Amino acid sequence: MGSKCEYVMNDHEYNIGYFLSDGIYPKWATFVKTIHLPQGPKARLFAERQESVRKDVERAFGVLQARFDITRGPTRNMDKVELGMIMKACVILYNMIVEDERDSFDLTFDYDDVENNTPQPNVQ
pLDDT digit string (tens) for the chain, length 124 residues: 445 778 787 788 888 777 777 777 788 877 888 888 889 999 899 889 888 888 888 888 888 888 888 888 787 788 888 888 998 999 999 999 888 887 776 656 565 665 555 555 566 5
Cα of 61 vs its chain's centroid, Å: 6
The pLDDT score that the predictor gives to residue 36 is 82
Through-space distance between the first and last CA atoms of the chain, rounded to whole angstroms? 79
The pLDDT score that the predictor gives to residue 89 is 92
Q: What is the CA radius of gyration of the chain?
A: 24
Q: For residue 70, which amino acid is it?
A: I
The pLDDT score that the predictor gives to residue 1 is 43
The pLDDT score that the predictor gives to residue 93 is 92
The pLDDT score that the predictor gives to residue 115 is 55
Q: Which residues 6+ apart lie within 8 Å of 64 measured at CB?
A: 71, 87, 90, 91, 94
The pLDDT score that the predictor gives to residue 47 is 87
Helices (H) and strands (E) in the chain, counts: 3, 4
